[in-house]
Amino acid sequence: MASELCASRLLAPYFGTSSFVWTNIIGVIMIALSTGYLIGGNLADRRPRLDILLKLLLVACVFLFLLPFVVFTVVQWLSSLMQNLNSSFSFIFLGSLLAIALLFAPPIVILGMTSPFLIRLVAQTDHVGVSAGRIFGLSTIGSVVGTFLPVLVFIPALGTGKTIMLFSAALFVVTALGFTAKKSALLSVAAVVPFLFPIPEARQTPGKIYSTESAYQYIEVFDRGSFRYLVYNDAAGFQTVANKHSPFTGLNYYYDYYSLLPFIFEGRPKNALILGLGGGIIANQLRYFHPEIVVDGLEIDPKVIQIARNYFSLSPDVSVFNQDARIFVTLSKKKYDIVIIDAYTQQIYIPFHLTTVEFFTKLKDRLSEQGIVAMNVSAPREDSPLLQSISKTLRSVFAHVYLFRIPMSTDNIVLVSDRGLDFGLLGRAAGTELQGLARLSQPLFRETEPDSQYEPLTDDRAPIEHMVDWEILKAGIKANKR
């Protein structure tokens, strides 16, 4: 279990953590375990000797210990093999499948051999059930420890590389005890050795100025010319883009357009809530263009909050809450004039619990009488199942749903309100720095009627990742055909 959890984190900087990647991780590890069970049972019947199993386990220890040092080289090699596929889906799915098979299948096969081998060694003819039960019971307890400790303790404190090295060292101790009685010396070695080796950078990103691992993701900050970027995991997209010389991104990203919302609001908005603060570019823009508005920001990852302060100059006037957006919306009593939903995982997945009828119903209670909700939905086409399903869900809660498709982009800003919105109010931007953006945007907002073939998303059924993954798959197939 520790190896499986570390596999997802070790490969996340290159392939992400989409359902495709998790399918490969679980599938390959299950196949490897099954192979190990079969090989271990046959070998144990032919050569039932403990020293054979111990030597094999030592090989697995070495294999696991070296993984953090070779993963980058292996991924680079696989990338060179697949460079002609011209498909991001092919790289994500096939690349992660091959990487997991090469890096994790061999040690997992050996670990799978352990249970049948031990049962053969310790079981007596009339006590096979007792012996098997004891071995599987102990192994399950070990799996529980290997599940909770990496996630709750070691990965946040040490990082993925050190964690997998630590568990391989622990396996080495258990294995080596079969060869020697010097237990205290072995324990000391296991505790110290992982910290003697510096872990190489997970990814060599040009312009990188900072990288770290959090309990949620691998995080990077890097500069490209006049722009600073915040990315998570495989960098399938940018979590935040900031222009170091202007409040505008100037790259036709959707961030800039949120600053138009106060002009659409009937009257003068007093406050705004951002669900998914990221690097804080939206919050900074609102504070810059509309300093009279009080801005609150929600961010679930505490390390991202630190990064927003240290690397993206997040305004000290923005109140930041380290909390899940759904929990905040449920528990808060404050009313907001403007709510912006910009929460993404992997840059491409909106957390499913922020797309359902139940969530939007709770969010509606957080709105003032004239309140507006705006969210970005990345979809290549207007008939995208993702965009249509979210629009249908919003329509079941709010009276009016509007769509603004960012020119020359796959981003769509969806606006909702219980009162009709007058986009002629964008003329109030005249004489401000937002005048040009307002003039461009005004004719592009339109009220929509979602396709009746789609059902509203609910807490019980909201297959957001499935919808996005199939969009990626379709795009990959089209790219390969071209």
92-103 confidence digits (pLDDT tens): 788 889 999 999
Residue 482 confidence (pLDDT):
40
Q: Across 79-83, 116-120, 248-252, 468-472, which has the greatest mean pLDDT?
A: 116-120
Residue 470 confidence (pLDDT):
73
Average pLDDT over residues 324-331: 92
CB 185 within 8 A of CB 39: no
Average pLDDT over residues 193-218: 74
Q: What rounded mean pLDDT belongs to the chain?
A: 85
Lowest mean pLDDT among 277-281, 318-322, 383-387: 383-387
What domains are there in the chain, each with its CATH number? 2-196 (no CATH), 252-481 (3.40.50.150)
Average pLDDT over residues 414-430: 92
Integer Cα distance of 32 and 343 in angstroms? 36
Cross-strand pairs, 345: 349
DSSP collapsed to 3 states, the chain: CHHHHHHHHHHHHHHCCCHHHHHHHHHHHHHHHHHHHHHHHHHHHHCCCHHHHHHHHHHHHHHHHHHHHHHHHHHHHHHHHCCCCCCHHHHHHHHHHHHHHHHCHHHHHHHHHHHHHHHHHHCCCCCHHHHHHHHHHHHHHHHHHHHHHHHHHHHHHHCHHHHHHHHHHHHHHHHHCCCCCCHHHHHHHHHHHHHHCCCCCCCCCCCEEEEEECCCCEEEEEEECCEEEEEECCCCCCCEEEECCCCCCCCCCHHHHHHHHHHHCCCCCCEEEEECCCCCHHHHHHHHHCCCCEEEEECCCHHHHHHHHHHCCCCCCCEEECCCHHHHHHHCCCCEEEEEECCCECCCECCHHHCCHHHHHHHHHCEEEEEEEEEEEECCCCCCHHHHHHHHHHHCCCCEEEEEECCCCCEEEEEEECCCCCHHHHHHHCCCCCHHHHHHHHHHCEECCCCCCCCCCCCCCCCHHHHHHHHHHHHHHHHHHC
Amino acid in the structure at residue 429: A
On whether the pTM is more than 0.85, the answer is no
Integer Cα distance of 439 and 453 in angstroms? 34
Tokens 């032919």 identify what position?
46
Residue 466 confidence (pLDDT):
79
Q: Across 132-136, 420-424, 464-468, which has the greatest mean pLDDT?
A: 420-424
Residue 201 confidence (pLDDT):
63
pLDDT band with cut points at 50, 70 and 90 for residue 9: confident
Say what the alpha-carbon torsion angle 189, 190, 195, 198 is, to the nearest 10 degrees: 100
Residue 192 confidence (pLDDT):
54
Residue 280 confidence (pLDDT):
95
Pairing between β-strand 336-341 and β-strand 400-405 as defined by DSSP bridges: unpaired
Residues identified as active-site: 342
Average pLDDT over residues 141-145: 84
Integer Cα distance of 387 and 211 in angstroms? 33
Percent of the chain with pLDDT over 90: 45
Average pLDDT over residues 259-272: 94
Lowest mean pLDDT among 8-17, 140-149, 242-251, 330-339: 8-17
